[in-house]
Amino acid sequence: MIKIRTFKDLLAWQSAHKLVLLVYKATKDFPDYELFGLVMQMRRCAVSVPSNLAEGFKRRGRDKFQFYSYAEASLEELKYQILLSYDLKYLDEDSYSKLIELAENTGKLLNGWINSVKKK
């Protein structure tokens, strides 16, 4: 079994970090008029997921779960924004599929981590 010493050891964090990188890559070619709209919003949400995981990792008690809840909420918000970007034709089908698949996988890993921490 792998010893989890820092937030970087969490599979959920690793997946969320990959998602951030993919969101930044995907949004770089969005229309200029979306820079301070959808692009900024998607990036903010994406960054919020691993950031809240990292902060929650060092918290104790119920505070820990509040940050994990923020991570889950930001991830759901991002999933909608990915769908919206696809519907607006800012994302092609391949990019959309990769983003959604990684977002779904991140959600499963995050949920698994939260459940494992609750059992302790």
* Architecture of domain 7-118 in this structure: Up-down Bundle (1.20)
Q: Quick check: 116 pLDDT over 70? A: yes
pLDDT digits (tens, 9 = 90+) for 78-91: 999 999 999 999 99
- The phi-psi region of residue 61 (left if phi > 0; otherwise alpha if psi is between -120 and 50; otherwise beta) is left
* Residue 57 CB burial class (10 angstroms; 0-12, 13-18, ≥19): buried
Confidence of residue 54 (pLDDT cuts 50, 70, 90): very high
